[in-house]
Amino acid sequence: MMNYEPGAAPTAPTAHPSPDAPPPPTSAIAARDLTVVRGTRTVLRALDFTVPSGSITGLLGPSGCGKTTLMRAVVGTQAKVTGVLDVLGHPAGDPALRPRIGYVTQAPSVYTDLTVRQNLDYFAAVLHPGRAHRDARREAVTRAIDDVDLTTRADALAGALSGGQRSRVSLAVALLGTPDLLVLDEPTVGLDPVLRRDLWNLFHRLAGRGTTILISSHVMDEAERCHRLLLMRDGRILAEDTPDALRHRTGTATVEEAFLHLVDTDRADTDRPGDRATDEDPTEEHPTGKTAAPLTTEEAPR
């Protein structure tokens, strides 16, 4: 899966492929007219997007905009999904995809009354059952613990760990099966800067080996580390591009500013009475160049 030297952590972020590099030809995820309804609410509205293989795609947007629902749809745990959603060449949720996708939920989903190693042992046994795979399993477990830098805490109960450590156990579980697609729901929340950098280095190493990573965040500075971005708001995708292209297109200096610019443009386009409650301050406040080229979001306003 990855040759990660434990001592290599404190180096500067490894030179990851330029975000401008042309995306690989195939797409790991392709959505057309993807719509999800939860209860009476339409959480995702007719999304069209692709996630190129072997790339790190950041899914950014304010909380409640539908990031988690989109990820659950990709993983195949979300009910009431309509439209087309192909993942690694199969329809999302296809049983053939289960061993090929690693999914890390926002809340760490591990057994708090087991140790770190016991958690990983169990999930490894679910992935590769049987006595024949015992050595391979042990190796995968050790490597996954090492990857998330928890070797010294391997025999501690997951419940005794800090929140950040526990979410790294959850991440380690997802790394076990050497998945082709990693879906990570805010994996770096609550981590200190050093750990965050180490994890991003790990993500880039994984992507370098061909793993596709879909990662959500609401921390915009992490966006700069992604190859591509999907900017979401209110169940729709505002933009789908590389960080550089987004900044360039909006004439802004950072992805955060680009996002704000897009939101404002979007509001101006779609503002209508009864729009959702997140519009607490409807006054125009374009942080930078209002003169930027008008944006065409790929979706017709509803």
Partner 1 sequence: MTATAGRVLRQLTHDPRTIALLVIVPVLLITLLRYVFDGAPGTFDATGASLLGIFPLITMFLVTSIATLRERTTGTLERLLALPLGKGGLIAGYALAFGAVAVVQSALATAVSVWLLGLDVVGSPWLLLLVALLDALLGTALGLFVSAFAASEFQAVQFMPAVIFPQLLLCGLFTPREAMHPVLEAISNVLPMSYAVDGMNQVLQHPDITGDFVRDISVVAGSALLVLCVGAITLRRRTP
Binding positions for partner 1, rule: CB under 8 A? 38-39, 75-80, 93, 95, 98-99, 101, 103, 105, 107-114, 118, 122-123, 125-127, 129, 157, 173, 177
Return the number of the residue (113 or 298) whose C-beta is nearest partner 1.
113
Residue type present at position 194: V
* Identity of the residue, 60 or 104, whose beta carbon is nearer to partner 1 in the bound complex: 104
- Secondary structure element (H or E) that encloses residue 75, with its range: helix 67-75
Q: Shortest approach of partner 1 to residue 193 CB, angstroms?
A: 27
N- to C-terminal Cα separation, the chain: 44
Work out how close the CB of 166 gets to partner 1 at its nearest, in angstroms, rounded to a whole number: 11
CB distance 225 to 214 below 8 Å: no
Q: How far is the CB of 247 from partner 1 (least distance, A)?
A: 35
45, 92, 93 from 76: Cα distances, Å = 18, 5, 4
CB nearer partner 1, residue 49 or residue 123? 123
Residue (90 or 98) nearer to partner 1, CB = 98
Q: How many residues does the structure list for the chain?
A: 302
Smallest distance, partner 1 to C-beta of residue 113, A: 5
Q: Interior CA angle at 16 toward 230 and 73, to 5°?
A: 30
The torsion angles phi and psi of 273, rounded to 5 degrees, stand at -60, 145
d(CA 290, CA 271): 18
In this structure, are residues 120 and 147 in contact, taking their beta carbons and an 8 Å threshold?
A: no
Give the shortest CB-51-to-partner 1 separation in angstroms: 18
The partner residues of 300 in beta bridges, in order of sequence, read: none
Q: Toward partner 1, which CB reaches closer, 134 or 209?
A: 134
Q: What's the closest the beta carbon of residue 35 comes to partner 1, in angstroms?
A: 14
Nearer to partner 1, 96 or 253 (CB): 96
